[in-house]
Each structure stands twice: as structure tokens, then as C-alpha cells.
Structure 1
Amino acid sequence: METATVHLLAPTPPPSSSARRREELRAQLAGRTASLIGSAASLATSIPNLTLYRYTAPSVPDWVSYEPSIALVVQGKKRVILGGTHFDYGPSRFLLTSLDLPVTSQVIGASPEAPYLCLRLKLDIAVVGELLSRDPDPAPWPRKSEPAMATAETTAELLDAFCRLMDLHHAPQDIGFMSGLIQREIIYRILQSAEGQRLRAIATLGDSNQRTARAIEWIREHYTQPLRMETLARIACRGVSTLHHHFRALTSMTPLQYQKQLRLYEARRRMLVDGLDAASAAFEVGYESASQFNREYCRVFGQPPMRDVRALRVVGEGA
């Protein structure tokens, strides 16, 4: 007589107290975010540097520029593409951006029942440097340059700090004093993480990443001008080939590709917002040839400039 073998499944262990605490704080923050933003797609809050976002459906890819910031998603999921690198993040991981970077951004998890909710806090690099100057035991420098964008674990301590920052909306008289203190705490929490080394390296004078950051800043301020690598190398105080290597490591792009992205994004904005035609927008952002602008625009955005802008306006009217 055959006997049946019964395989007993081990019971699923209950979530740890730390995991429960994170979920409680995430739920609180999601509720406060949803209440404050209402039905809007975005809201620049009364708290300096803090903007809220809400989507009720996945979005189409959008080409935007991210400044140094932390993006904390409390519901839903998002994907950001820097060069050829994908960064997916949601409630369990936040996105840290340490430099001004042109990226492709797309909400990939959202619904009317569970909207995508995100808090984006712009980081003051001067404050980062101030906190680092007080560190009696600085962490060792990274051995190599890494992208100036990363995802990191969302901890209970970080969520708690954001909850207290959001609570200031109920005590507006405290915003002027308390928001700066809490934002300093948030930056401190980021710097203590492994991924915070990217921010640490860029904010500290003398490090190779910081010197490359100076070259990136110069391109942003002079993107309409012709780009000469020898000039850029002098600004960064390094050789052309070394700068090229570190630049690509930080941004996932070459300096020329970076400048091109900035020009195309700005031309798109001027056509959409200021009503410029394609040729005028091209010349204002530094192109000398309208045909070259059209070719590169199609390559990045998938269709000719004015057709793309008309499509964007239709989407905006239907939002």
C-alpha cells in the first residue's frame, strides 16, 4: 500500500517590527500627500524645495531635467532612464540625484484606486557641504566614478523625517525655522547610506567627481555655445581623456551628448510654452542648422518638432 507524502509549508514569518514601522509611516505619508495635493498632478508646497506629484494612470515617457534631489515615492512606481541605465523605484526605494541630469521619466505604476504619489525634495548642495564639514569621521572616497543617480533603501528614519516635514503644513508659523532643520536631517540620513557617497563626493571640493561636476555646470550655463573639450578640461583641471571618462561615468553620456540633450529639451520647452517655431527655437538654443536640429529632434523624440509639440498640446488639453 502506497503512502502519500505530505509536504508541510513553513509558515510565513510575520513582518519585523522595523518593516511594520516602515509600512505605517509610508501609509501615513501617502494619506497626507493625497489629502494635500487633491486632484492636481503636481503641487509646489509652502515648504521650501518640496513638490508633490500625483498620477492616476501610467504616463508616456517624458524627457525632463532632474536637479539634485531626492524623489520619495509613497505609492506607485516610476522609471527613470539616464543614458542607457534604468532606475525603477517605488515605496521601498527612493531615487537620489546628485547632479543636474537630463533623463527620460515615466510613471509605470498608477491607477485611479491607487494613484502614484511622490514627494520630491530639492537638495541644497551648500547645505550638503556644510554637513560634511562637521563630519569628524568622513567615509573613504569611492575608488571610481559612479553615476550621479542611484536608488537606495527607504528607511523608517527617512520616512519619519518626511512625515514631520509634511506636518508643518498644519503649523505654517513653524515652516521658516523647522523646515530647514528637518531638511538637514533628511540630507544627513542620505549621507549615511552607501549611495550617499555619490552626493558626498560631488559636494566636497577637491574630489575628482566634484571637478567633473564643475564641467557639467559650465555646460548647463553655456549650452548654447560651441563645446570645445580643451576648454572644458581646463575648467575641470584635468586632461581631456580623463574628463571624458569621468563625465561619462557620472552622467552616462559624453559631454557632447549632454549638451545636445539640454539643447533639445530647452528647444522643446520654448516651442511648447513660448510658441516659437522650430527654426527659431533651434537657433536660440545654439543650433546653426535647422535641418540638423530636425534630425536630432526626431532621433530623440520620435517625430518632427512641430508635430511633437502639437501632440503634447493635445495631451495637455485632455489632462
Structure 2
Amino acid sequence: MNSYFEKNKYKLLDKLLPLMPESKSYTTNIDGLLIVKRDAPFQSEVCLQQPLLIFSVQGEKRYSAGSEIIDYKQGQIVFQGTPMPCSSYVLKASKEIPYIAMVFAVNMQLMTEVIYSLDNVDISSMTHAYSSLGKIEAGNDIIDSFIRLADLLNKSYNDIKVLSPLMLKEMYYFLLKTELREKLISFAITSSQNNKILKIINYLKENYNNHYSINDLAEMVNMSPATFHRHFKMVTTLSPIQYQKSLRLLEASRIIKYENATVSEAAFKVGYESISQFTREYKRMFSVTPKNKQ
């Protein structure tokens, strides 16, 4: 663990803990920033998680995204560059030493502005796909950036409105000086292979209940089917078919829970033709049958 983090951890806790009296997630006045407190081990439900950056201030957590599992602890940063089916489990937390984290929705616009302001970015090198997921130890500059953002949470609304975009750009700048650099650039630059895969992901999110072949999807981004399949799995850890299946099951879970749909109604609405197949795959993903969600 970074000794600089050890020295400054309590600065962060002193600024964050008064804002979190209960064990839950809190939205903040900094756009895209959640602060999270858990005072006991906690399992989240599977959801479609948008691109994010997690900084663990205290405690340990297991993050499952696609088919990959990442364990991380205090002083570490986890990056996820594409929307992915995810769940998480707080491994180490108590009332005396709760799990504390700062969770940032990735602001592609701010990050892209930082990238294009640099004079040493070789965009032409973004010719292969990078995994969506990464984990690093937070360096000194990034820790200072997080401390300034935590301090800003205690300032006035006008201070936050004016200063938070500048501080977030500072955070992205320091992240671009780490081993996450290529991943960050690959998702921000529109001509990159990762961005082409992101285009298909966004298309599938809007059209999850339709049927597509690998050839259809590959043609949309001018790739061969083999290259497209390889790049898609590199970025998301899932095949295109597995990814679309996850989208369908997540939407089915939502409409069963919130729209009072029957199991068969939900299955047919999201594109399944077999109730038994739907039930089997639903249980595999959520560890319960769809009837238990009603």
C-alpha cells in the first residue's frame, strides 16, 4: 500500500464520514460522484453498471463485471470503461471500521478534453482493443486530487458548480499518467477499436430484444466477424451473445419487479421464445428463479 495514502487516509475520512451518517450510498453535488458507506459485509444485486471509477478509502470489496472478478482494498482504484453487467460484495467492513469509497461516473467529455489538450497522445496507435477493466494503486497526485474533491463537498453550491469540472479534469489528467492511460484513451477516442465496440454495446442496449448475427454486428463497425468477436470479448469479457443475453435478463428482472409482469410476459417481452430456457438462464445469472422476484 502507498505510504502516502496511509498518511493521508484520515484526511479523506474526516471530510467524508460527517456526510454519511448511515450505511448506504449518497449522491453529492459534484456531478457523477457517489460516496458509499457500508458498516457490514454487503452483497449488491446484479445490474447494468455504467462506466465508472472507484476509489476505495477504507475496507475491501469484490467487484464482478462480466466474467471477471476484481478484489480491491483501500488505496486502490478500479476503472470500468464500458457498461457491463456487474455485482459487488463488501468483504471487509464493520461499524467501527466501515467500508468507504468514492465512486465516479466516467465523464467522457471532460476526459476527452484533457486528452486532446495533451501534446504527446498518439491517437493512431489505438489500433487494438483493451480490456474495459483495470486496477491500480492510487499515486500521490491522484490521492491529493481525491482529497481536494472530498474537501469541495463541504463547500458552497457555487464553489462546487465552478470548481468541480476543473478538479475532475485534474483527476483525469493524473490518471492519464498511470498505467490506465491506454484504456482511458481507447474509450474516449471515437476512432479506436474500443469505441467501436462501445457503439455496438449502446446499440444492443436499445435493441436487446431483437435477434442479430455476429456478421450483422460486425458489419456495423466495419470489422470482420472474427475480429469483431475477439475485440468484443476483450473489451467486455463476454461474447456478443452473452452480453445481449445479460441485457435481456436484466430488463426481465426489472419488469418482473417493478411492472408486476408474469414470468412468461417478461420472457417474451425481452425476446425469449422458451420459458424453460429463460428460467434456467435467469437462475444462473441471479441465483434465484424469476418467480422469487415477483
Superposed pair shares fold, TM > 0.5: yes
- Relative to the length of structure 1, the TM-score reads 0.85
**Matched AA of 1:174:** D
Shift of 1:249: 0.7
Look up the match of 1:279: 264
Structure-2 residue corresponding to 1:250: 235
Partner of 1:222: 207
Relative distance call for 1:270 and 1:163 in structure 2 (3 A) is: farther
Q: Kindly state the Cα deviation for residue 139 of structure 1 after the two structures are TM-superposed.
A: 5.3
Matches within 5 A, 1:155-304: 155-169=139-153, 170-304=155-289
Q: 1:122 aligns with which of 101, 105, 108?
A: 105
How large is the Cα RMSD of the aligned pairs? 2.0
In the alignment, the residues of structure 1 paired with residue 108 and residue 161 of structure 2 have an alpha-carbon distance, to the nearest angstrom, of 19
Match of residue 82 from structure 1? 65
Deviation at 1:85, TM superposition (A): 2.3
Asked if 2 retains the 8 angstrom alpha-carbon contact of 1:62 and 1:106, the reply is no
SS in structure 2 opposite 1:238? coil
For the 8 Å contact 1:66–1:100, the answer to whether it is kept is yes
* Alpha-carbon distance between aligned partners in 1 of 2:138 and 2:239, rounded to the nearest angstrom: 31
Q: Are 2:137 and 1:153 equivalent residues in the alignment?
A: yes
Shift of 1:173: 1.9
CA displacement 1:93-124 (0-9 Å, x = unmatched): 11011111112321111112111111111111
Question: Aligned pair 1:45/2:23, yes or no?
Answer: no
For the residue of structure 2 that corresponds to 1:226, the secondary structure is coil
Which amino acid is 1:146 matched to? Y
Find the aligned partners of 1:273 and 1:162 in 2 and give their Cα distance.
36
Q: Residues 33 and 282 of structure 1: is their aligned pair in 2 closer, same or farther, counting only changes over 3 Å?
A: farther
Normalised to the residue count of structure 2, the TM-score between the two structures is 0.92
What is the alpha-carbon distance in structure 1 between the residues aligned to residue 214 and residue 24 of structure 2? 40
- List runs of 5+ in structure 2 lacking aligned partners: none
Moved segments of 4+, more than 6 Å? none
Between the two structures, name the one with larger relative contact order (CA 8 Å, sep ≥ 6). Answer: 2
Q: Is the 8 A contact 1:75 1:91 kept in 2?
A: yes
Q: What is the Cα deviation at residue 266 of structure 1?
A: 2.1
Unaligned runs of 5+ in 1: 1-14, 311-319
Asked whether 1:33 is paired with 2:16, we answer yes
Instruction: Provide the rounded CA distance (Å) in 2 between the counterparts of 1:24 and 1:274.
Output: 50
Q: Does the 8 Å contact 1:73/1:117 carry over to 2? A: yes
Distance 1:255 1:240 in 2: 11
Q: Tell me the distance in 1 between the aligned counterparts of 2:110 and 2:234.
A: 25
Alpha-carbon distance in structure 2 between the residues aligned to 1:37 and 1:266: 31
Counterpart of 1:57?
A: 40
1:166 Cα deviation (Å)?
2.2
Moved more, 204-213 or 70-79: 204-213
